[in-house]
Amino acid sequence: MRGYLGHLAVERGLAANTLSSYRRDLRRYTEALAARGRAAIGEATEDDVRAFLAGLREGDADHPPLAAGSAARAVVAVRGLHRFALREGLADGDPARDVRPPAPPRRLPKAISLDDVERLLGAAQGPAGDAGDAARGLRDRALLELLYGSGVRISEAVGLDVDDLDLAEGFARIRGKGGKTRVVPVGDYARRAVDAYLVRARPELARAGRGGPALFLNARGGRLSRQGAWMVLRAAAERAGLSDVSPHTLRHSFATHLLDGGADVRVVQELLGHASVTTTQVYTLVTVRLLREVYATSHPRARTRRVR
């Protein structure tokens, strides 16, 4: 298992969060194999793999039942482990080859309207307070403007360094999943918000720490964490009176609003950093549904009139 995880980290360049999830899933799998009397990876059978999958969905005294998406991720990790074991000569066959991960239900991404985005961004800075509150307010506005204006993941935003931005040219260099780098535009609203933060707020926050390259700093002068950024979003959503707003909401809204405005799905794919266009195409379903609703309520011959 350690060898496989090392392969994923070095050869495949998987993100740290993905590796952590795989490590957790594979530890649970190896424990399940040991409970069934398997002492080596080459002793595992297809029945062992299927029993593990069933156990994921059913849960046990120590683990709650997993949703289809989480169980699918675990099965993908197990399938990868067995392929690796076969390739490395640690097993004579691949017992997981024919075990398919459960198909998660296809859920449309949640986006909020442009009016709600405006309310959320307007509530980012919060009520006026001391200099520390003012600095954090400017940081929060810059963070949320960048999330919506560029469609970056929240982990990508907090991973930015100051040198990753070129505000004069209006772009940011993003380090995405798997160590892949892409360049995304930074719109005028986000540029002004980030510039105001860099000039009027970041120096105030940096004084509390040792200094560093991070763009977004916390109150102690260190890099703002994903959890800290999530709390910024949640606080702004509460002040704006919005519910069920997640860290991905602004990213979903960015993609949906681009497509609603006529952007090509391949361009949106590049901006989001999706490896496959099929991942991006789920957003077109949101747009098509909206078009259908508008047509049904607006066109005089969209629906048959009832005759009394």
248 is catalytic: yes
Rounded (5°) CA angle 162-167-173 = 55
CA 250 – CA 254 distance, rounded (Å): 6
Terminal Cα-to-Cα distance of the chain (whole angstroms)? 71
CA 120 – CA 18 distance, rounded (Å): 30
The token pair that represents 207 in the structure block? 């004084």
Closest to 146 (Cα-Cα) out of 92, 185, 95, 182: 185
153 is catalytic: yes
From the list 28, 136, 153, 257, the catalytic residue is 153
173: enclosing H helix or E strand: strand 171-175
From the list 50, 83, 173, 248, the catalytic residue is 248
36 is catalytic: no
From the list 7, 83, 177, 226, the catalytic residue is 177
181: enclosing H helix or E strand: strand 181-185
23 is catalytic: no
Which amino acid belongs to residue 288? V
From the list 73, 79, 251, 252, the catalytic residue is 251
8 Å CB contact between 150 and 172: yes
28 is catalytic: no
197 is catalytic: no
Q: Which residues are catalytic?
A: 153, 177, 248, 251, 274, 283
